[in-house]
A and B are shown apart, each in its own frame.
Chain A
Amino acid sequence: MSCQYHQHLLLPLLLSLLTAGVSSVEVQRPRGVSLSNRQFYEEGKPFTCLDNSATIPFDRVNDDYCDCKDGSDEPGTAACPNGSFYCTNAGFRSSFIPSSRINDGICDCCDTTDEYNSGAACQNTCRELGRKEMESLEKMAEIAKEGYRLKQLLIQEAKRGLEEKKKKLQDIQVTKKDLEDKVEALRTVKETAEQPEKEAKERHLKAWEDQKALIRMEKDMARMAEVFLELDDDGDGFVSVAELLSHSELNPDSDDSFTEAEAQVLLGGVDKVDTVTFEAVWNNIKEKYISEVTTVKTFSRLQEPFSDNDSEQLLQDNCKLYVRESFFTVFDINLEKEISFDFGPNSEFAYLYSQCYELTTSEYIYRLCPFNRVSQKPKYGGSETNLGTWGKWAGPEDNIYSVMKYEHGTGCWQGPNRSTTVKLTCGKETVVTSTSEPSRCEYLMEFISPAICQEPSSLESYFHEHQEL
């Protein structure tokens, strides 16, 4: 229901109608005419269709024959195909229904006024509905209020976080610069070392081989850094057993299940590894690993071959520096990416970044990692399916942050790539409440977060009024 997005719009309207419904005396007007339109229907005077298409004697209003093109002469009968009927619904919200629903034997208005001649046994349920709506609105208001308070905290946190990250980025950039300087220095040393040497051709060739090995090594290290970041779903700086398990291709034996024990072995017998330890276990992983992203960035900075060099040590140093530099480059890019994300007008959605939320249904475990990906894993074994990676905010123009779109998931047979629409609603917690697949391979996820809560501006006055009623 859209009422959740529009509650701030809906409330004042409800207020005025409820007041009218309860306090006003029934004003005489032709059946089906709204209060605001009653001025056009003056007893005994010729009636002019609301679209001015014709003027008819008043006794042709509601005479069960359609005279006006816009249907306005038959507000209380089903005679006009395009007419509408006004349900006063005292005690609840008034509404318009298509006039084709008058006397069709189905109770549409809670005050039963649409079924005045059909024999349908309708009960007046307006008060009950009004009470229930009131209750649910109160509850929603309470949630909205608390949610909004939490949102303010999130905004402050995000602001702090952003500053920190900007600072960190700056630091990294400084460090990087520093490293680059060192590399430059080393290169100078190397070049100086090279200068006086007049080498034999063989040596030169050997050095060229070493150089290629260095390039390979460097590329490998760069890939390692990337893989580390990819694997580190929650961005905590560690790759854990759980994170490794989502890559079934790493399963060492080809049997069905990739167990935690097997994953642990790959990580050198521990539950999680940081970047340094990851270097040590990289060989366990690199052969089988399949990247989640298709475009692999390369961090090779070597454009031209070095000339020969007899200093192995120099090569080693050089290499390590490059590796560290690569790591920094990736972090650097990651941070820049994070900083540049659209986390909402006040960055209130920033707290979702690098988090994941799960929902278990009868068959599957669904996992939403906001701004990253949505996935589905069978509850009882089987590999994970990508239901889409972060696409964009996709709410309606006036409420763009109410919907997230995840796209380009695993392809379907004869169908599209899987995609997921995540609908956000205001709540105190951050939780996935439901998932469904309304159309094949198009998933829908309901997600509650305080970050979407709106300022409960009119609520106070609304409750004030309500108490008095």
Chain B
Amino acid sequence: MAPVVVLWLAMCLGGTWAVDKGNFKTCDQSAFCKRQRALKPGESPYRALLETMELTNTRLTLQLINDNNKVRLLLELYRLQGNITRVKINELKPLKPRYEVPDVLIREPPTEPLSLLSQDENGVVLSLGAESQRVIVSARPFRLDIMEGREVLMSLNSRGLLAFEHLRMRKDTQADPEAEKKEEADPANQAEAENVDEEKVEDGMWEETFKSHTDSKPNGPSAVSLDFSLPGVEHVYGIPEHADTLRLKTTDNGDPYRLYNLDVFQYELYNPMALYGAVPVMLAHNTQRTTGIFWLNAAETWVDISSNTAGKTVFGKMLDYVQGSSETPQTDVRWISESGIIDVFIMLGPKPKDVFSQYASLTGTQSFPPLTSLGYHQCRWNYNDQEDVKSVDAGFDEHDIPYDFIWLDIEHTDGKRYFTWDTHKFATPKEMLQGLMDKKRKMVAIVDPHIKVDSNYKIHNEIRSRGFYIKNKDGGDYEGWCWPGNAGYPDFTRIDMRDWWASMFAYDQYEGSMENLYTWNDMNEPSVFNGPEVTMHKDAMHGAWEHRDLHNTYGFYVQMATAEGLIKRSGGVERPFVLTRAFFAGSQRYGAVWTGDNAAEWDHLKISIPMCLSLGLVGISFCGADVGGFFKSPSTELLVRWYQTGAYQPFFRAHAHLDTPRREPWLFGPENTALIREAVRQRYTLLPYWYQQFYQAHRTGQPVMRPLWVEYPQDPATFTLDDEFLIGKDLLVHPVTEEGARGVTAYLPGKDEVWFDVHTFQRHNGAQNLYIPVTMSSIPVFQRGGSIIPRKLRVRRSSTCMEHDPYTLFVALNSQRKAEGELYIDDGHTFNYEKEEFIHRRLSFANNILSSLNLAPDAKFTTQSWIERIVILGASKPSKITLKAADGQESQVEFEFDASMSVLTLRKPGMNSGADWTKKNL
């Protein structure tokens, strides 16, 4: 730990309380980014060799040639099912294979037929099948345009920034005679090489030094780059993880957005620096269409964004419009990666929900979490010992605040040896876990991927003897500093390593573990305290591949292996819960993510919204930020507001740094305890709705926490909103994130919509900015008219305790006096839902009749839960209400009517939640 302290101290002495930017590269300091960014648009050396075109039923191939160096590339173009076009570009004959990212796609995507529409010497036109979509391949310079009707949806290499650094032998030394021989032996290579304009050897092509670290680059330059033009687009989103606004900014005057998984100490807000995770997916949106670009590359990546309207003021745009002189607004995007190939999926929408399902068809959907993991999580670095855990657990009962999980950070281990327990502080972990189980509560213990190099540590010995460690460039086991001191890093890209890792979670392997113990993977960027940019050397080796090629997937694999372990230990019965800090495209399949080491500051509370929204847009729905802020100590007001916000975000966990004062919810006086209790209780009443949203996310890939524009894609007023959000499509949340706020202004979207304040039942019209006065207890939340939301109002000490409790249905009528909703129930924790063991019902209200219809007649599941109450918002007073059960039996239901708020409450209708019924208001 000593070096850590030194490192942190050094950072601290800088004086400012923020990230030390000097520890992380700018584009200028990253040789390939600098090289690529120096290219000027409009000078593309690439030409399509149309004579090489081959078109099969599913695939078009075509060679491209770089007229400067005569290196040939192979272009592959696929039409994929679901309105997706895949473009792959690799060297035709690379010196050695280039890395293609495995394991991220859930399968080889199924293709659809392509057909040739026309061809001449300048290019070809292909039909993309559906909806008069075509792709035009232009030969000189090479360019792709995807059209629908007469409209260009997207163009590739339209600015001529396609670049593909071919693999080459090192020319500036004579040190490798064998390599030269090899080159001679390959006549094809030689033939081309002779024609080549000798390309300049620039600094950083064969070696690069940043601070004290030298990257050896034995393969030389290998970067790839491509530009995309998006006509008609002014709003782009996605490419997390960045601490920035929801709508991405143009990058002309600064660095590009960087995607490179890094452990950034005390990160700064509102900038394009890389953070812990990377999902190379961007969404483009205008009122007509939403599209997506998925750049499947796991190496360090930079994304430049520019726009022809970015500099214009609103007045300027207006002037253009009035004068009719406006050029079409356009956003240009450029992706630059250090190695690998170009493999890009163009998702053509047209609606936001189409893009979500297109992306889900490629990388899978959000894992369906155990219901309990949607409850509240209490974490701290660290709960000191078993006694501490017990007293915090008792504190929740004493203060009547529900919670489901208590967490243990690194100090619970025996000297940062994961899978072990500190023998003094956690001498009898099973006893502790049993104590929690007796209260139907659970625990998460941290298991990080860095493994202490210690010959008395079983895990280390096994990994070393099996040769599972990542190797350094010289072939020895790679070692770096992390929490335990000197540590090795298992090669999670190997399936045999992952299988072995998974087997370590078996109850007989992980001593002291029980079925209510779940796992947290931290530091899996990977974090290497003494490595370049606090991560692994790029020339470290994963078998034949360099770490450079796959860096951004390391954390993805760690979580994959861990989740697999939790599934395996239960014999495939129980759903896992694993939290990760690092992630990549596809990480949604393995659990939850959080936004890393934030700080107890108001701006960090605010940024939690766009950060999680951006993740939701690219498939990762189970997102949260440390409630209260990790570093520093929050004011009581901030803490309360953070609980209120976190209660309405998908992953709801409080966490705190070791050096901060304790902040369990009851430590701030009875008034604040009550405020926090109320926020947490609101979360618990809504668990049925949250669970249903996650079920939908799992089935369809739709995000749980959504930006407003996703549901109101034609309303430009929603396009930049990131201080409010939707849960599903029926709840709108505008948390209070300003210090000392007296009110917030929420935009309620939809000119035909009505919205009901969930606390007062006050009805508001859509398409308005509504000023809401707030007090410390206010959490502005609105239910959309036209929706039915099930809640469980009997909040108990954990979600599991509420399993059999009855539901209250909140029916919010729209202006046509209609409403629809769903009710999904299963056992909450097993994979049996995959065997049709669930209840899924459609609830609908129309013509004064509320009915429950079975959406899954083949499914079988029984519940003890019943409907205890139905609250109809925006109702009129009925004379009587009858309930008709499945067997035709009718009975009268008592009700109360609040005329001032038009709220009709049905008392104890009493039917089973799984049953068919209709209910008529007369």
Against A, the Cβ 8 Å flags (1 = close, 0 = not) of B888-922 are 00000000000000000001100000000000000
Say which one of A96-104, A137-145, A235-243 lies at the interface with B.
A96-104
Q: Which residues of B contact A439 (CB under 8 A)?
A: 660-662
Q: Please report which residues of chain B, range 767-806, place their CB below 8 angstroms from some CB of chain A when the two chains form the complex.
A: 793-797, 801-802, 805
**A438 touching B659 in the complex, CB below 8 Å, given contacts A65-B908, A78-B796, A100-B797:** no
Q: Which residues of B contact A362 (CB under 8 A)?
A: 424
A105 contacts the other chain (CB 8 A): yes
Most buried by B among A65, A362, A416, A439: A439
Task: Give the distance in Å from the alpha carbon of A415 to the alpha carbon of B12 in the complex.
Answer: 12
Q: Please report which residues of chain A, range 99-124, place their CB below 8 angstroms from some CB of chain B when the two chains form the complex.
A: 100-101, 104-106
Task: Give the distance in Å from the alpha carbon of A257 to the alpha carbon of B603 in the complex.
Answer: 48
Most buried by A among B424, B658, B659, B802: B659
B438 contacts the other chain (CB 8 A): yes
Q: Which residues of B contact A436 (CB under 8 A)?
A: 384
B822 contacts the other chain (CB 8 A): no
B827 contacts the other chain (CB 8 A): no
Q: Which residues of B contact A105 (CB under 8 A)?
A: 440, 801
CB distance from A400 to the nearest CB of B (A): 19
Against B, the Cβ 8 Å flags (1 = close, 0 = not) of A55-67 are 0000000011100
Contact in complex: B796, A440 (CB < 8 Å): no
Q: Which residue of chain A has the shortest Cβ distance to B667 in the bound complex?
A: A439
A437 contacts the other chain (CB 8 A): yes
Task: Give the distance in Å from the alpha carbon of A100 to the alpha carbon of B805 in the complex.
Answer: 10
**A440 touching B440 in the complex, CB below 8 Å, given contacts A101-B796, A414-B12:** no
Q: Which residue of chain B has the shortest Cβ distance to A118 in the bound complex?
A: B804
B9 contacts the other chain (CB 8 A): yes
Task: Give the distance in Å from the alpha carbon of A100 to the alpha carbon of B384 in the complex.
Answer: 30
Q: Which residue of chain B has the shortest Cβ distance to A416 in the bound complex?
A: B661
**A100 touching B659 in the complex, CB below 8 Å, given contacts A413-B9, A436-B384:** no
Task: Give the distance in Å from the alpha carbon of A413 to the alpha carbon of B802 in the complex.
Answer: 44
**A65 touching B907 in the complex, CB below 8 Å, given contacts A78-B805, A100-B797, A106-B440:** yes
Task: Give the distance in Å from the alpha carbon of A321 to the alpha carbon of B796 in the complex.
Answer: 77
Q: Which residues of B contact A416 (CB under 8 A)?
A: 661
A81 contacts the other chain (CB 8 A): yes
B351 contacts the other chain (CB 8 A): no
Contact in complex: B794, A100 (CB < 8 Å): yes
Contact in complex: B661, A104 (CB < 8 Å): no
Contact in complex: B796, A104 (CB < 8 Å): yes
B400 contacts the other chain (CB 8 A): yes
Q: Which residues of B contact A98 (CB under 8 A)?
A: 400
Q: Which residues of B contact A413 (CB under 8 A)?
A: 9, 12, 659
A220 contacts the other chain (CB 8 A): no
Q: Which residues of B contact A415 (CB under 8 A)?
A: 659-660
Q: Which residues of A contact B659 (CB under 8 A)?
A: 412-415, 440-441
Q: Please report which residues of chain B, range 791-828, place their CB below 8 angstroms from some CB of chain A when the two chains form the complex.
A: 793-797, 801-802, 805
CB distance from B859 to the nearest CB of A (A): 25
A266 contacts the other chain (CB 8 A): no
Q: Which residues of A contact B203 (CB under 8 A)?
A: none
Against B, the Cβ 8 Å flags (1 = close, 0 = not) of A408-423 are 0000111110000000
Q: Which residues of A contact B868 (CB under 8 A)?
A: 64-65, 79
Contact in complex: A104, B801 (CB < 8 Å): yes
Contact in complex: B384, A438 (CB < 8 Å): yes
Q: Please report which residues of chain B, range 570-585, place their CB below 8 angstroms from some CB of chain A when the two chains form the complex.
A: none
A249 contacts the other chain (CB 8 A): no
Contact in complex: B797, A101 (CB < 8 Å): yes
Q: Which residues of A contact B438 (CB under 8 A)?
A: 106
B170 contacts the other chain (CB 8 A): no
Q: Please report which residues of chain B, range 1-52, place their CB below 8 angstroms from some CB of chain A when the two chains form the complex.
A: 9, 12
B388 contacts the other chain (CB 8 A): yes
A146 contacts the other chain (CB 8 A): no
Determine which of B440, B660, B796, B907 lies in contact with A100 in the assembled complex, contact meaning CB atoms within 8 Å: B796
Q: Which residues of A contact B907 (CB under 8 A)?
A: 65
Q: Which residue of chain A has the shortest Cβ distance to B801 in the bound complex?
A: A104
Q: Which residues of B contact A412 (CB under 8 A)?
A: 659
Contact in complex: B794, A79 (CB < 8 Å): yes
B699 contacts the other chain (CB 8 A): no
A442 contacts the other chain (CB 8 A): yes
Task: Give the distance in Å from the alpha carbon of A106 to the alpha carbon of B797 in the complex.
Answer: 10
Task: Give the distance in Å from the alpha carbon of A439 to the alpha carbon of B868 in the complex.
Answer: 44
Task: Give the distance in Å from the alpha carbon of A101 to the alpha carbon of B439 in the complex.
Answer: 11
Contact in complex: A81, B795 (CB < 8 Å): yes
Query: Could you tell me the dominant secondary structure of chain A's interface residues?
Result: loop
Task: Give the distance in Å from the alpha carbon of A438 to the alpha carbon of B662 in the complex.
Answer: 8
Task: Give the distance in Å from the alpha carbon of A395 to the alpha carbon of B794 in the complex.
Answer: 37
CB distance from A255 to the nearest CB of B (A): 20
CB distance from B471 to the nearest CB of A (A): 36
Task: Give the distance in Å from the alpha carbon of A62 to the alpha carbon of B796 in the complex.
Answer: 18
Q: Which residues of B contact A64 (CB under 8 A)?
A: 868, 908
Task: Give the distance in Å from the alpha carbon of A438 to the alpha carbon of B658 in the complex.
Answer: 11
Task: Give the distance in Å from the alpha carbon of A416 to the alpha carbon of B801 in the complex.
Answer: 40
Task: Give the distance in Å from the alpha carbon of A247 to the alpha carbon of B805 in the complex.
Answer: 64
Q: Which residue of chain A has the shortest Cβ distance to B907 in the bound complex?
A: A65
CB distance from B632 to the nearest CB of A (A): 8
Q: Which residue of chain A has the shortest Cβ distance to B800 in the bound complex?
A: A105
Contact in complex: B424, A440 (CB < 8 Å): no
Contact in complex: B440, A81 (CB < 8 Å): no
Q: Which residue of chain A has the shortest Cβ distance to B402 in the bound complex?
A: A100
Q: Which residues of B contact A63 (CB under 8 A)?
A: 908
Contact in complex: A438, B795 (CB < 8 Å): no
Q: Which residue of chain A has the shortest Cβ distance to B387 in the bound complex?
A: A436
CB distance from B885 to the nearest CB of A (A): 19
Task: Give the distance in Å from the alpha carbon of A163 to the alpha carbon of B659 in the complex.
Answer: 47
CB distance from B758 to the nearest CB of A (A): 15
Against A, the Cβ 8 Å flags (1 = close, 0 = not) of B662-704 are 1000000000000000000100000000000000000000000
**A78 touching B794 in the complex, CB below 8 Å, given contacts A65-B868, A438-B388:** yes
Q: Which residues of B contact A438 (CB under 8 A)?
A: 384, 388, 662
Task: Give the distance in Å from the alpha carbon of A412 to the alpha carbon of B659 in the complex.
Answer: 8
Q: Which residues of A contact B802 (CB under 8 A)?
A: 104
Q: Which residues of A contact B660 (CB under 8 A)?
A: 415, 439-440
Task: Give the distance in Å from the alpha carbon of A441 to the alpha carbon of B657 in the complex.
Answer: 13
Task: Give the distance in Å from the alpha carbon of A412 to the alpha carbon of B657 in the complex.
Answer: 14
Q: Please report which residues of chain A, range 448-469, place their CB below 8 angstroms from some CB of chain B when the two chains form the complex.
A: none
Task: Give the distance in Å from the alpha carbon of A414 to the alpha carbon of B388 in the complex.
Answer: 23
Task: Give the distance in Å from the alpha carbon of A416 to the alpha carbon of B9 in the complex.
Answer: 16
Q: Which residues of B contact A79 (CB under 8 A)?
A: 794, 868
Contact in complex: B797, A440 (CB < 8 Å): no
CB distance from A418 to the nearest CB of B (A): 12
Task: Give the distance in Å from the alpha carbon of A101 to the alpha carbon of B398 in the complex.
Answer: 12
Contact in complex: B388, A81 (CB < 8 Å): no
Q: Which residues of A contact B869 (CB under 8 A)?
A: 65
Task: Give the distance in Å from the alpha carbon of A440 to the alpha carbon of B388 in the complex.
Answer: 13
Q: Which residue of chain A has the shortest Cβ distance to B5 in the bound complex?
A: A413
**A106 touching B801 in the complex, CB below 8 Å, given contacts A79-B794, A100-B796, A437-B384:** yes
Contact in complex: A440, B661 (CB < 8 Å): yes
Task: Give the distance in Å from the alpha carbon of A442 to the alpha carbon of B794 in the complex.
Answer: 38
Q: Which residues of B contact A442 (CB under 8 A)?
A: 661-662
Contact in complex: B801, A440 (CB < 8 Å): no
Q: A100-B801, A101-B797, A362-B424 are in contact. List 18 more A-B contacts (CB 8 A).
A: A64-B908, A65-B868, A78-B794, A78-B796, A78-B805, A79-B794, A81-B794, A100-B794, A104-B802, A105-B801, A413-B9, A416-B661, A438-B662, A439-B662, A440-B659, A440-B660, A441-B659, A442-B661
20 contacts between A and B (CB under 8 A): A64-B908, A65-B868, A65-B869, A65-B907, A78-B796, A78-B805, A81-B795, A100-B797, A101-B796, A104-B796, A104-B802, A106-B797, A106-B801, A362-B424, A414-B659, A415-B659, A415-B660, A438-B662, A440-B660, A442-B661
B-to-A contact residues, CB < 8 Å? 9, 12, 384, 388, 400, 424, 438-440, 658-662, 681, 793-797, 801-802, 805, 868-869, 907-908
State the 9 A-B residue pairs at the shortest beta-carbon distance, nearest first. Answer: A104-B801, A439-B662, A100-B796, A415-B659, A65-B908, A440-B659, A439-B661, A104-B796, A78-B794
